[in-house]
């Protein structure tokens, strides 16, 4: 059956998939779904979200083939999206430039879909590694998840830095998502490289702080939308113009993955 680490990975994948579903839905709606392929990530994200919710509720042991397939489709769709978004940026006048990175198709959303698929498959793997005798395999999986979480946190920070730089860091709180998560990424990354030497108590505390930051970011972005002309009364326009409400929970999802990695490295708890 799924243990605490497995459920944390399910929740992590669910938050990332939900973030992609909402963010891509808004962005692709703003683009009038000009390319029919723009519907694909919505279906893939919805599938990963459903698989994650069902996985968290499933008390049975063993991998589930249907969920594995949905997670695999999520990862493949995300990789294809990365290629499409990179191509769309490169074909603009000026190619790969700061202006195009600021205003063209964002790289972060397809990458989050890849992460949702990878972490969801990790959740399925915990189901066959719940026995104490499988601790060596659990530690190997824990190191892998820790590395994924670290890379995801650093990548998400880079995207937040890019967009907050575009916003000239006009609110001092905009510094938080480019300072706290990189430290969490470095700490959980150290657990992937040298799990015996990692400062796990500090890492756990910092990951929880990063998870809270993700939820707080939704509030800050909602406040940012309220400050636009017309505020929430003009929600149909301001919601599309941002700041994006679905983006900050990605930090929460990746922090939960890091906490799951620590749980795998420490082994299953009695009871």
- Judged against a pLDDT cut of 60, whether residue 254 lies above it is answered with yes
| Region 171-189 average pLDDT | 94
pLDDT of 270 higher than 70: no
Confidence grade of residue 267 (pLDDT, cut at 50, 70, 90)? low
Where is pLDDT greater, at 151 or 1?
Answer: 151
**Predicted confidence band at 271 (pLDDT cuts at 50, 70, 90)?**
very low
The pLDDT tens digits for 8-63 are: 999 999 999 999 999 888 888 887 888 888 899 999 999 999 999 999 998 877 78
Residue 239 has pLDDT above 50, yes or no: yes
Task: Give domain limits for the chain.
Answer: 4-266
As a whole-number percent, the residues of the chain with pLDDT over 70 amount to: 96
Please name which of 166, 150, 160 lies closest in space to residue 213, comparing C-alpha atoms.
Answer: 160
- Looking at residue 131, its pLDDT comes to 67
In this prediction, residue 215 carries a pLDDT of: 93
Residue-level pLDDT at 2:
56
CB 26 within 8 A of CB 244: yes
Task: Name the pTM for this structure.
Answer: 0.90
How confident is the model over 117-153, as pLDDT tens digits?
A: 999 999 999 888 766 667 788 889 999 999 999 999 9
When the pLDDT of each residue in the chain is averaged and rounded to a whole number, the result is: 88
pLDDT in the model for residue 1 = 47
CA distance 78 to 17: 11
Angle of helix 135-166 relative to helix 249-266, nearest 10 degrees, comes to: 160
Contact 128, 2 (CB under 8 A): no
């Amino acid at each position: 059956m799924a243990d605490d680490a497995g459920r944390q990975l399910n929740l992590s994948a669910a938050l990332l998939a939900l973030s992609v579903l909402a963010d891509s839905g808004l962005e692709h709606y703003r683009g009038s779904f000009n390319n029919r392929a723009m519907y694909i990530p919505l279906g893939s994200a919805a599938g990963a979200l459903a698989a994650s919710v069902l996985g968290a509720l499933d008390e049975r042991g063993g991998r589930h083939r249907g969920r594995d397939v949905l997670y695999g489709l999520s990862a493949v769709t995300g990789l294809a999206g990365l290629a499409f978004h990179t191509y769309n940026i490169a074909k603009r006048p000026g190619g790969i430039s700061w202006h195009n990175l600021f205003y063209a198709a964002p790289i972060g959303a397809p990458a989050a879909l890849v992460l949702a698929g990878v972490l969801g498959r990790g959740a399925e793997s915990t189901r066959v590694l719940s026995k104490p005798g499988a601790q060596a395999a659990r530690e190997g999986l824990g190191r892998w998840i820790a590395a994924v979480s670290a890379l995801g946190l650093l990548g998400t920070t880079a995207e937040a830095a890019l967009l907050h730089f575009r916003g000239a860091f006009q609110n001092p709180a905009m510094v938080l998502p480019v300072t706290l998560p990189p430290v969490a990424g470095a700490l959980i990354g150290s657990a992937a490289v040298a799990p015996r030497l990692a400062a796990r108590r500090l890492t756990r505390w910092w990951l929880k702080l990063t998870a809270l930051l993700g939820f707080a970011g939704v509030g800050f972005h909602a406040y940012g939308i309220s400050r636009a002309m017309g505020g929430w009364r003009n929600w149909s326009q301001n919601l599309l113009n941002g700041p994006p409400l679905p983006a900050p929970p990605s930090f929460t999802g990746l922090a939960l993955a890091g906490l799951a990695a620590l749980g795998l490295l420490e082994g299953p708890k009695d009871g």
